[in-house]
């Protein structure tokens, strides 16, 4: 039996039953994700699985999530809270859509849908939510990840609106959203896939309630959230008490060449963790500003990694955490600052500084820095074979950091990303490009007793004119090693124009026009090494 730390009025809970319900609740979100991936239109969602699903209580607390995208899931509670604030009252059949980063979103390509589920009252008993990265939602460049200087350049901004009300689709709102995309049919299909996933989530949850009763399900939900809080506090209590600081930088914001410091002071005390980002850069002109929800995602992700897989990921995990960010900083910029890159690049650096600080408390547990970037690539134009617009988005893997016990993994998506790659066959079938090379970037991992993982080499030839945008980092500042391990190798972006024999070195963040026959080469960073090689040779 567990429950000794619950309030006296809280009944004891059988530990076996609690484990069963942990998996039952998670299965709702997992099946939502399977449905979304199988019914989506775009390669980014169907092939790369750039989406996330979660289950919430009626008051907006997260109850369960699937093992999808870390940067999405810690931020989705903000979307549900925003829906509760701006879209109530609800009725059965409602679906709220939003992507506004300053009203619960992260960046504009991530469209979140939120659906209330009613049981025995006029108030929602639960919510299901999905977030999917749509390959184009308008803005100044195809793929909607531009080198922007304000939010309005990044695409259509959707405040919390009822896309479906009482089971009836708001056709005007839907038409407005898809018309602002360069690929409207794809947007319509992906939004329909998200809606289908919600129908599956509601059906599965109702089956659980029918089997166990609403009272029992609510009882187990409250117990699971309390249990997650207990486990998190117990784990944090076992960490060495103290204050640990670290600093790392982003290469630039794509507008100026100034490095952007991210600073953290982690305080571990009495079963709690305070992550204080005071001293980080002020908001910048480019798009690497990150909203506060992203900071919460990154901190929650690191805590989950330290705690292990047995920790249920729900609202309880965040209760012992305190996060301090200053308004007007790069981590809380305020509208209308651009944020397209903050979700993907700054989130990775937040993880790096958190691990850098915690390595001082846990030197025998924390790995070196992984590649520290998602290597975002977007391109789009008109396909000459069809006469229709196309837009593509992907992130690329790299090397993970070596740890005290193992080498880092190579050619893998790390930390706040968790997507797959786009298969070469799917990429070449859907878009006018040819893949010349897709390989491990051997030797790019940092040296050490344990070697950092290698990055990848990706080479694309464009078969039609297109607008190309890259948002990447760790092109100047390498991923750090730990305990004497060497840093990983920086990434590199190159473009060889058709007919040329020399490559042009591209900046880490760039937007340019490419022509048929141009070849893009992206080499992603390796992970940092762990431990001094001299120690290895002496042992």
Q: How confident is the model at residue 15 (pLDDT cuts 50, 70, 90)?
A: confident
Sheet holding 126-133, edge to edge: 62-65, 51-57, 126-133, 110-117, 95-98, 161-165, 168-169
Sequence spans of domains, the chain:
15-228, 367-539
Whole-number pLDDT of residue 244: 98
Q: 396 CB contacts (<8 Å, ≥6 apart)?
A: 374, 375, 377, 421, 456, 458, 522, 524
pLDDT at 500 over 70: yes
Structural contact between residues 324 and 274, judged by C-beta atoms closer than 8 angstroms: yes
Element (DSSP H or E) covering residue 199:
helix 184-212
| pLDDT at residue 2 tops 80 | no
CA distance 456 to 446: 14
Q: Which percentage of the chain shows pLDDT scores above 90?
A: 90
pTM of the predicted model as reported, rounded to 2 decimal places: 0.94
Cβ neighbours of residue 272 under 8 Å, at least 6 residues apart?
233, 236, 320, 321, 322
* Residue position matching structure tokens 């920086």: 490
pLDDT tens digits, residue range 414-436?
999 888 889 999 999 999 999 99
Task: Give the bridge partners for 246, in sequence order.
Answer: 264
């Amino acid at each position: 039996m567990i429950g000794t730390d619950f309030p006296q009025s809280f009944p004891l809970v059988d530990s076996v039953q609690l484990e069963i319900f942990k998996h039952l609740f998670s299965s709702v979100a997992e099946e939502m994700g399977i449905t979304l991936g199988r019914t989506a239109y775009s390669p980014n969602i169907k092939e790369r699985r750039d989406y996330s699903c979660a289950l919430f209580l009626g008051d907006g607390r997260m109850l369960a999530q699937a093992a999808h995208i870390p940067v999405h899931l810690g931020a989705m509670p903000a979307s549900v809270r925003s829906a509760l604030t701006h879209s109530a009252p609800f009725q059965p059949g409602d679906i709220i859509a939003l992507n506004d980063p300053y009203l619960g979103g992260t960046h504009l390509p991530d469209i979140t849908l939120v659906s209330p589920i009613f049981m025995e009252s006029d108030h929602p008993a639960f919510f299901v939510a999905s977030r999917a990265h749509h390959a184009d939602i308008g803005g100044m460049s195809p793929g909607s990840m531009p080198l922007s200087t304000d939010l309005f350049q990044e695409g259509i901004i959707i405040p919390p609106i009822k896309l479906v009300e009482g089971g009836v689709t708001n056709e005007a709102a839907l038409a407005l959203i898809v018309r602002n995309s360069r690929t409207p049919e794809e947007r319509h299909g992906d939004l329909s896939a998200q809606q289908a996933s919600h129908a599956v989530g509601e059906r599965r949850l109702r089956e659980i309630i029918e089997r166990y009763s609403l009272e029992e399900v609510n009882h187990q939900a409250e117990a699971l959230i309390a249990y997650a809080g207990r486990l998190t506090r117990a784990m944090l209590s076992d960490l060495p008490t103290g204050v640990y600081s670290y600093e790392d930088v982003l290469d630039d914001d794509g507008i100026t060449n100034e490095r952007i410091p991210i600073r953290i002071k982690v305080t571990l005390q009495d079963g709690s963790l305070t992550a204080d980002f005071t001293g980080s850069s002020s908001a910048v002109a480019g798009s690497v500003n990150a909203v506060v929800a992203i900071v919460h995602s990154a901190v929650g992700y690191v805590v989950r990694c330290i705690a292990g897989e047995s920790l249920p990921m729900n609202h309880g995990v965040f209760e012992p955490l305190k996060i301090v960010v200053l308004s007007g900083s790069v981590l809380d910029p305020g509208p209308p600052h651009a944020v397209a890159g903050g979700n993907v690049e700054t989130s990775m650096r937040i993880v790096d500084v958190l691990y850098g600080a915690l390595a001082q408390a846990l030197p025998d547990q924390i790995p070196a820095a992984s590649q520290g970037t998602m290597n975002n690539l977007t391109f789009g134009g008109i396909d000459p074979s069809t006469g229709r617009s196309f837009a593509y988005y992907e992130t690329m893997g790299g090397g993970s950091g070596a740890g005290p016990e193992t080498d880092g993994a190579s050619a893998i998506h790390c930390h706040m990303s968790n997507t797959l790659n786009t298969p070469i066959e799917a990429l070449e079938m859907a878009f006018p490009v040819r893949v010349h090379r897709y390989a491990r970037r051997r030797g790019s991992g940092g040296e050490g007793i344990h070697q950092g993982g290698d990055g990848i080499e990706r080479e694309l030839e464009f078969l039609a004119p297109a607008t190309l945008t890259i948002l990447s980092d760790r092109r100047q500042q390498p991923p750090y090693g730990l305990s004497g391990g060497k840093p990983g190798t920086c990434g590199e972006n190159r473009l060889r124009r058709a007919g040329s024999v020399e490559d042009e070195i591209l900046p880490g963040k760039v937007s340019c026009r490419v022509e048929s026959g141009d070849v893009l080469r992206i080499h992603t960073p390796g992970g940092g090494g762990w431990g001094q090689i001299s120690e290895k040779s002496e042992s």
